[in-house]
Structure 1
Amino acid sequence: MIRRLAPAVAFVLLPALGACSAPAKEPMLKDPARWPLAKLEELPRPAGLPQEAERALARIKVGSIGLTAWINSSGLCGLTGPGWSMNADLTKSDMAEPTQEDGFSGPGEPQVGGAQESKVTLFCTPTRMLIRVEGETSKPSVSGNAVAQIYRGGLNAVVGTPEARRESLPGATVTPAG
């Protein structure tokens, strides 16, 4: 029975893993310089970023909440908001099974880091940052390497390469101006 199921399981998992914009293999996780996030264009550093935030990648605003997504070459993926900052160390996280967060499309990727602050949740992988803001929908805007859309009474945003943004939020209605 197990032998019969194993090929079926491999058939289901391999396309999902192969469809990712970058393979989520352990060596890539240990080398932040190889991450697609590390290759994104940097934004000017806004005031209020924590010291460990080396490169700002995107700004996201919805309602009264202004967020800055950032990374650090040591392997930190972070998000800073009004009066708080959170981050996940992707090099020290254990790879989980491939998952797909609610409201996001595209390939399932192993989520290797996550954090939450009040209404804001951050999920990080080496290829993208998935951000959820609960209960805020007014006047959404993004700049930098992000897109967003209103979803179930909140805002979903993706920070990543153009391919990762299209994969995760193909119907994004909030895109960078210009």
Structure 2
Amino acid sequence: MPTASHITSLIKSHFENDDLRFTTICLQIAAHEAKIGHTTLADDIQKIIDRSKQIRPLLKPINRDLEGLVLETYPLYKLSDLIVPQQLKERVERIISEYLQVDKLRRHNLENRRKILLSGNSGTGKTMSASIIAAELNLPFYTILMDKMVTKFMGETSAKLRQIFELINVRKGVYLFDEFDAI
């Protein structure tokens, strides 16, 4: 079990965006867990850290103008974590399958789905579904915060939208326009 100082240091480093310190503390926790015989937990922590090291260096920092508008994350959810009606789960599986078999589809002059619309009340699994798609495809997950996109100045909102779509053109990932009804 991590010590109280580990936990408070983790929280503090997270909110200070100190990734190096956060990773160091995670490694200390993994070492502590391995030392007391919790090797499965220690291995799981190490795998998560290793995976983040493999993904993060491949990406360039997001444009400073988009800071606060776009959140970049690397979800760890799996398809098995998704608890929705079977019909919806099958649709998510199909999207993942089409993406993974895009070459096969193109040989038959077909395209994979690249845009989907998730709608529903709060708490129905829209964000989790999108993040699971990202995790299953080993892609970064970008959340566009639409409530911060709209401003009182006429041209500013369209300029921000243009920057978002430029980002989409240069960075492969799963993009969720959160609270789209804000527009």
TM exceeding 0.5: no
TM-score (norm 2): 0.26
More helix by share: 2
Q: TM-score, normalised by structure 1?
A: 0.26
**Which has the larger share of strand?**
1
